[in-house]
Structure formats: structure tokens, C-alpha cells
């Protein structure tokens, strides 16, 4: 089946050494990191659909989860939180992939037209698919457990205001867990 067809690489977004993938709020543009989930594959599928229509396109209508920016609280579909570099990368992979599929279709028509002495077109081999993105750097973000959803989140180290859980939207106080416990002792 795959006689020199394209190797699909680079569809996974890079992770840092702790396994986190970078996100960026479409509103305030602040960075944070989450562990990748099934959303990634659906975001890629959606990019691909922009370049050529799938017969099974309805599978992509499942929709993407709504996430909330941990800092400013803006809600948006998950693919809006891809960083500009990730968006560009996924689009280039999708475009190259679509070109390969079209090439395979044309080449197939050419092969089956062998009875035709003068084929009216030549399928031009497309460029190779882009390689994976650069590895994700480890930078100064702190890891916070989102107890509401059982997921970890990496946020700006010096952020001392309330945070929203990106998954469920719960608002968490601006104090560390230890400070909250101390505060409760004081109040009781």
C-alpha cells in the first residue's frame, strides 16, 4: 500500500522534559503549559480539513473542548490556545500532507492511463513533509496541581493572582495551598 508515500511526522507538538506542551492565551498572550491529550489529534484534523475535504469529515464535527485562560479567564476552543508557532507548523504539515494526497491521486490516474499514449498531465512530486518542531524548552514556570480536574498545569512563576483551571474553569485563589491552609487556621 505505502510505496514511497509520505511518512507522517511532526504531528505531535513538542513536549518539555516533564511532558508538558506549550499553550498561549489568544486574549492576553500569556504562556502556560498543559499535558497533551486527545485534543491535539483533533486540532490537527481540523487544520487538514481546511486544505481538502474528507469524506469522513463529520468525524471532525465532534468539536474541540472549551478551555479557559488560567490568567485572564478568557474562554475559547482548544485550538485557539495553540501558539502562533504551533499554528504555523500544523498548517504547513497539513498543506504538505494534502499535496501528497493529491499527488498520489494524480499518479494513480497516470498509472492506470498506461493505455493512453499521450497522458495530458504529469504529476509533480511534492516536497517532503516538514520535520517536527524544535523541542520544547524547559523554562521558569511552576507546576500547579489542578485538584478540581486531577491535571497538572504550568504557569508563570511570578503570577500571584487567582488562576482559572483551563479544563473546568474553576477559579483558584491567588495564594499557595500552604498559605490557604494557614489562613483557614487563622480564621477558625
Q: Which is nearer to Zn ion, 117 or 150 (CB)?
A: 150
Scored b (16 or more CB within 10 A) or e, 114-147 reads eeeeeeeeebeebeebbeebeebeeeebeebebe
Least distance between Zn ion and beta carbon 179 (Å): 20
Least distance between Zn ion and beta carbon 16 (Å): 20
Q: Which of 19, 32, 26 is nearest to 157 (CA)?
A: 32
In the sheet that 141-146 helps form, which strands lie side by side, from edge to edge? 21-24, 31-34, 151-156, 141-146
Q: Which is nearer to Zn ion, 67 or 97 (CB)?
A: 67
Q: Which is nearer to Zn ion, 27 or 60 (CB)?
A: 27
Least distance between Zn ion and beta carbon 177 (Å): 15
**10: left (phi > 0), else alpha (psi -120 to 50), else beta?**
left
Least distance between Zn ion and beta carbon 170 (Å): 5
Contacts with Zn ion by CB under 5 A lie at: 25, 27-28, 69, 71-72, 74, 146, 148-149, 165, 167-168, 170
Q: Which residue has the cell 504539515?
A: 93
Cell output for 167: 479544563
Q: Could you give the CA distance from residue 180 to residue 172 in angstroms, rounded to a whole number?
A: 11
Q: Which is nearer to Zn ion, 82 or 165 (CB)?
A: 165
Least distance between Zn ion and beta carbon 30 (Å): 5
Q: Which is nearer to Zn ion, 20 or 167 (CB)?
A: 167
Amino acid at each position: 500500500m505505502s510505496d514511497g508515500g509520505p511518512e507522517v511526522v511532526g504531528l505531535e507538538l513538542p513536549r518539555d522534559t516533564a511532558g508538558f506542551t506549550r499553550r498561549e492565551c489568544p486574549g492576553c498572550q500569556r504562556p502556560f503549559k498543559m499535558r497533551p491529550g486527545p485534543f491535539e489529534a483533533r486540532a490537527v484534523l481540523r487544520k487538514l480539513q481546511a486544505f481538502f475535504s474528507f469524506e469522513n469529515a463529520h468525524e471532525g464535527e465532534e468539536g474541540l473542548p472549551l478551555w479557559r485562560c488560567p490568567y485572564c479567564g478568557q474562554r475559547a476552543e482548544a485550538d485557539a490556545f495553540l501558539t502562533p508557532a504551533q499554528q504555523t507548523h500544523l498548517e504547513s504539515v497539513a498543506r504538505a500532507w494534502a499535496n501528497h494526497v493529491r499527488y498520489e491521486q494524480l499518479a494513480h490516474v497516470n498509472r492506470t492511463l498506461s493505455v493512453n499514449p499521450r497522458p495530458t498531465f504529469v504529476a509533480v512530486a511534492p516536497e517532503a513533509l516538514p520535520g517536527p518542531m524544535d523541542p520544547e524548552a524547559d523554562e521558569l514556570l511552576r507546576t500547579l496541581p489542578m485538584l478540581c480536574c486531577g491535571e497538572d498545569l504550568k504557569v508563570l512563576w511570578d503570577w500571584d493572582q487567582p488562576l482559572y483551571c483551563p479544563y473546568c474553569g474553576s477559579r483558584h485563589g491567588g495564594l499557595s495551598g500552604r498559605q490557604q491552609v494557614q489562613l483557614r487556621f487563622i480564621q477558625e
